[in-house]
Structure formats: structure tokens, C-alpha cells
Amino acid sequence: MNNGAFCRKSSISVLERGGFDDTAQFLLRTWMRENGDMPPSSTLMQVSPYLVIFDDQFDPGDSPEILFFGSETAFSSKFPEADCEEETNPERLLQPGFRSHVSEAYHAALHGEPVFETIGTGQLLGPRKPTVIYDRLTLRFKKPVGSYLITYSLEREEVWLSSKEDPQDHPDYSQQMQGFHQSLPAAPSSEFRQHERL
């Protein structure tokens, strides 16, 4: 544990018995029904605002590149500045310590294991960011060539460590685009068309 940071893995049977929430259960059922293959884009479009999609190539002890993040994800809410990043990959907004902290699930999912865990960020999100506790499901969906790692998270608790780090002190990102956010490069995540509405 590092400044309150932790990752606690739980059995996937929690979801199979109806735990977590409907979106997580839908994703797991889809993954099982498709035997881990990527379904047609229309299957996941209804839940895409809540998903983060990662590349399947990454270094040991690090998190993969973010290819797509939905507008209703924890990443979008905690890092609204990602919409203003034209050159930098959104994943680089995450502190190296945090990327390492949550990396084990990606490696496990890459080997075909669905991963359900509870994560405490501690102070690893960096300055002017809250401490967050959230549940996360990580699944690998195979493509004809390569695969996507897809995560769905549900926040359980958020704590700001001081009044100086209150969200009201943050810059105004109210002009950010609503809907779906696709990061660079665009080509690998073409299943999700930018700005498409439900």
C-alpha cells in the first residue's frame, strides 16, 4: 500500500451472481457469449460512453495506450484536460506510479482472464486530483489481428485531501466536446465513430 493506494482483486463469480451493476454484467455476458472475440460495434455502442479502450501492446509494469475513452468514464471526469490534449496520448496524463499500480490487471486480461478488482488510488493520480476508490472490470476482446483491452469502472468514493484541492479550483473545461472521446491515433479504434450519438 502506498499513501492509501491498493488493488484488491475479487472473483469474477461476483458478477456471475449478479454483483457490480448491469453494465458490468452485460459486458461479461457479451465477452462470454462471443468467446472473447470483439462483437460488432453496435453491440457495445450503447455502453461505449462508460468504457475505456486500450491497446494490447505495453511494457511490463506499465499501462497500455488509451485508444478511446467515453465521456462518462472516471478518466474523463478526473482528467477533463484530456480533451485539450492534441498531441499527447491521454494515458500520459496518468502518473507513472499510478500506471504501474493498476498494470497487473492488463497483463492478466491479456492472457484471457476477466479481471474484477477494487482500486484505491491513494495520492497516485497526482497533485490537484482526488483520492478515489472504484471497482473495475477489465476484459480482452480479440480482433482478427490483435485485440483490445476494455475497462469499465464504477466509482465508490472520492475524497479531496484539502480545500485547496477542491474541484471548484480547477480550470473550466465546460467547452469540452460531449459524447464520445477518441484519442490519437484514431485508426485502431475505428469501431467507435467519433461524436456518434445513441
Give the model confidence (pLDDT) of 58-77 as tens digits: 999 999 999 999 999 999 99
Count other Cβ atoms within 10 Å, centred on residue 73.
21
pLDDT (tens digit per residue) in 6-38 = 999 999 998 888 888 999 999 999 999 999 999
Domains in the chain (CATH in brackets) are 5-189 (3.30.450.20)
pLDDT 10s digits, 138-174: 999 999 999 999 999 999 999 987 544 444 444 433 3
CB 150 within 8 A of CB 53: yes
Which one has a higher pLDDT value, 56 or 18? Answer: 56
- The dihedral of CA 151, 74, 186, 195: what is its sign? positive
109's CB contacts (< 8 A; 6+ apart) are: 115, 138, 139, 140, 149
Whole-number pLDDT of residue 175: 34
What per-residue confidence (pLDDT) applies to 85?
Answer: 60
Q: How far is CA 47 from CA 132, 138, 165, 169, 192, in A?
A: 22, 14, 31, 31, 11
> Quick check: pTM over 0.95?
no
CA torsion through residues 63, 66, 67, 73, sign? positive
